[in-house]
Every structure is written in C-alpha cells, then in structure tokens.
Amino acid sequence: MDDTIIAFHKEDKDEWFQDKKSIGKTFSIKDMGECNWILNMKVIRNRVQRTITLSQQAYVERILKQFALHDNRTVHTPMDSNHLLWKTMDNYKYDVIPLTKEENELYRSLVGALLYLANTTRIDITYAVGQLCRYTSKACVHHIAAAKRVLKYLKDTPDLCMIFGQNGSTFTVPKIEAYCDSDWAGDKVDGKSTTGCVIRFNGDVMNWLSKKQTSVAMSTAEAEYIAAGEAVKELLWYRSWISEVFHESPIGIVHCDNTAAISLTDNDTIHDRSKHIRLRYHFIRDEISKKHISIRWIKTIKQQADILTKPLEGAQFTRIRDKLLSLP
C-alpha cells in the first residue's frame, strides 16, 4: 500500500493511537511523523497562519529534466489561443505529419506526466492537457509541439502552488460554491462544447474539471446549462461530505455568467426552449426547489472557470490563474 495521511482532531489523539496499535497487529506499518511529502507533493504547514501549502515544484523540475527540454525559451500561457490541435490525418489532408512510433511513445509518456500534474495541483494546465489527451492514439508533429509548449510554460512557472486556509477565519459556517462555464461548440470536429467547473470550499479551491460534453448543444445557453448540471453534481457530493463532517447543510452556490442558462433552471421557463434537452440535466430544477442549490449570475470577467474551457490570451489567463493558484 502507498503512503497515506492520517488527520484527526487533537481531542481524538488517544483514540488514534489505539487504532494505530490495532492496525499494527495485522499489518506492517511505519509512522513517518508529520507529513512533508505525499504523492510527489511537498506539504508545508504554517501553524501560525493556519495554512497548508501543496507544491509540486520538484515534480515539475523532474519532468523538465526527464523530457530534456533544452530550449531556454519560456511562454506565459500553456496553450496558443490560435491552436489547431484538431488537425489529424483523418480530417485534414495537408500539412499534417504523423509521429513515428518512438515519437508517439514519447508523446504518450509526456502527456501522462502532465496529466498527473493537472489533476493534483496545477489547475492552470488542465484545459491544455485535456486537449492533448484526445490525440494520444494518433498524434502528429504539431501535437507534440503543443505538449512541449506546456513544458515551456511550466519552466516559467514551476513554483505555483495551492494554499489552503488563507480565508478560513472569514467563514463562520462552511461555504461551498462552484464556478461553471462552457465554450460553445469549441470542438471543430464534432461541434461539442467543453464544460469547465471550479469548486471552492470556504474560499479554497478543492476540485476542478474540464471535459467535453457528451451531446451537441444547440445554443450557448444550452451548453452553459449542461455545464451548470455538472457543477451541481459536484456540489451535491461536497454538500453531503460537509453534512457528515461538520453537521451543517449549507446551500451550494453556482456562479454562472449566462442569464439564459439561469432562466432554464426555472420550472416555469418557456418549454420550447428546453424540451429537447435530455432529462438528466433538469435535475438542477429539483435541487433548487429543495433549496440544496442556488444559481447566481456573475459577470463574465469574474468567471473563474473560463480558464478550463478554452485557451486564453496572456493577460486574461494570468488574471484568472492568479485567483486559483499562489506563490509559496
């Protein structure tokens, strides 16, 4: 079994030592003391400021060395806003060069290393890596160039990390909220949209997702409504966790920047606008009526999930990234 972390309230210290003794009678275990490293993440605990920092700078430096990025140039965004990753041998006849077998193995290995990073602490590369993952079976030269661009970006920002607890003292009761967004018909091949979602608990980023929607949305409002459905599912899980741990049942807040999508969450909205949408997305209305969830409009400039739906220009990308990640 891999290393694991045990967390308990100081009042439960004696109970934990009893449990550890019982576990030790059956399994061979070793107490490593306070956690400093776990799953390629450096853990920094500031007891004075009551914060915990997760950093993968060492992992970033390792993969930069592993994939021999000799180019000293760096970039300020992980993906070119004018990317054409969708060009493949299947749908584009010209200027497409497939990778050799060895190059394709390198590409899959590189994307796998980046995917682990994107799923643990580096939300800023999640969209770019998600796009790269779509071409692991038929990658071309421009795909591996795009993957190396992510490395160049990481070389420019190796020390970005996640800090938990910076806002802890400002909340008297647990608060759970989500930012949801979509890029309508962003996939140039099948016309499907991409959902982006950021989950925050007491102000701290807890989870995020960036994924292609399973059906083709016929409007921006529909794509945003589907994205809101994904956000609500995530919030319901966290709401259940909060209820179990903190014995509180806060209303989950969903921040959406599309007024038409918000109107679709109303049971009294015009039926013609939503009758074609699959029933599984309409559960949002039920959760709102039960007061488990609340949908709120937010200005597009404050939409943090935008970074998970499409490649952004430098200033816009940096502005959102700095709301999600910090320097140690």
Residue 162 included in any domain: no
Residue 214 included in any domain: yes
**Is the pTM for the entire model greater than 0.85?**
yes
pLDDT digits (tens, 9 = 90+) for 4-51: 888 888 888 899 889 989 988 988 888 888 889 988 999 999 989 889
Residue 143 included in any domain: no
Give the range of the structural domain holding residue 299, as residue numbers without chain letter.
171-316
Residue 226 included in any domain: yes
The tokens for 179 are: 């930012």
Residue 292 included in any domain: yes
Q: How many domains does the chain contain in total?
A: 1
Contact 294, 254 (CB under 8 A): yes
Long-range Cβ contacts of 205-214 (<8 Å, 24+ apart): 205/123, 205/162, 205/324, 206/238, 207/234, 207/238, 208/123, 208/126, 208/305, 208/308, 209/234, 209/308, 210/126, 210/127, 210/130, 210/308, 210/309, 211/130, 212/187, 213/182
Contact 165, 206 (CB under 8 A): no
Q: Which of 277, 302, 9 is nearest to 177 (CA)?
A: 302
**Tokens 């608060």 sit at which residue?**
175
276 pLDDT band, cuts 50/70/90, is low
Residue 33 included in any domain: no
Please give the mean pLDDT across all residues of the chain. Answer: 90
Q: The domain spanning residue 309 has which CATH number? A: 3.30.420.10
Residue 249 included in any domain: yes
